[in-house]
Amino acid sequence: MNGFLMNNKLQQWAGVFAIFEALIYIAAFVYFGAFWSYPFDGTSAEKMTYLAENQVVFSLILFLMYVVFGVFLAVLVVGLHEKLKQSNHPAVLIGSLFGVIWVGLVIASGMISHIGLGSAIDLMETSPEKALEMWLIISVITESIGGGNELVGGLWVLLMSLAALSAGVFPRFLNYFGLFVGVAGVATIYPDDIFTEIFGITQIVWFIWLGVCLLTQDYVKKATGVKKPMIAN
């Protein structure tokens, strides 16, 4: 009984954090769409000056996008694994492994970018050109393991959606949508930003939809007293 309550509590937290993940995505889109005025055509000194002047806010955004996102993702990965593990579908174990790897990559990206930004700004007084070069290298590393390439995250969404579809744990359309989101994530290995944008936007919807299901599914069953059969909705 205690195990059931703890598992149910974990799934509720996973649902809450799934919605928080979507809100982090939205906050990042708003910040970079409305407030980010980086001088892409400016000189090295102008670019580094902009980063220095916005270091505090930019660092907080990076920390939110990567480190906080990764911590919330860890709870969601574990909660979703607990929700689906009774199906004994091989995709659950493999998908959860990719989920854990994604957590590590995202958090590592945030730590690299956060420390790297400060180091690049410190180098600015000596040489703006070398400082910008350092920041560009850091940006490439960050994008490579946690931002621009969403292969690992896409595989997690794809495999967990496949397992959920097979077990009928979540609504059928949510699982089909998850398959689409996962494929979009895997497709980010192609050098075109369009797939990264599709993955980001569609994952906002997926996170919210999944979060609502995790928060309400067991509550509805308790309220009605009906055990939901393992078939797709």
At residue 6, the pLDDT reads 60
At residue 144, the pLDDT reads 86
Whether 220 has a pLDDT exceeding 50, the answer reads: no
Which pLDDT band, with edges at 50, 70 and 90, does 8 fall under? confident
Whether 222 has a pLDDT exceeding 50, the answer reads: no
At residue 193, the pLDDT reads 82
Ranges of H-type helices in the chain: 2-30, 44-53, 55-62, 69-84, 90-123, 128-146, 151-167, 172-186, 193-224
With pLDDT > 90 as the criterion, what percentage of the chain qualifies?
77
Distance of alpha carbon 24 from the chain centroid: 9
Mean pLDDT for 29-54 is 93
Cβ neighbours for 62, distance < 8 A, ≥ 6 positions apart: 110, 113, 114, 117
Most confident of 7-11, 85-89, 166-170, 208-212: 208-212
Mean pLDDT for 21-28 is 96
Whether 226 has a pLDDT exceeding 50, the answer reads: no
At residue 148, the pLDDT reads 74
Q: Residue ranges per domain, the chain?
A: 2-224
At residue 152, the pLDDT reads 95
Q: Quote the CA–CA distance of 106 and 94 in Å, as a whole number.
A: 19
Cα–Cα distances in Å, from 5 out to 2, 8, 10, 18, 113? Answer: 5, 5, 9, 20, 39
Secondary structure (DSSP) of 39-89: -TTS-HHHHHHHHHHTHHHHHHHHIIIIIIHHHHHHHHHHHHHHHHGGG--
Per residue in 167-212, pLDDT tens? 999 999 999 999 999 999 999 988 878 888 899 999 999 999 999 9
Which pLDDT band, with edges at 50, 70 and 90, does 233 fall under? very low
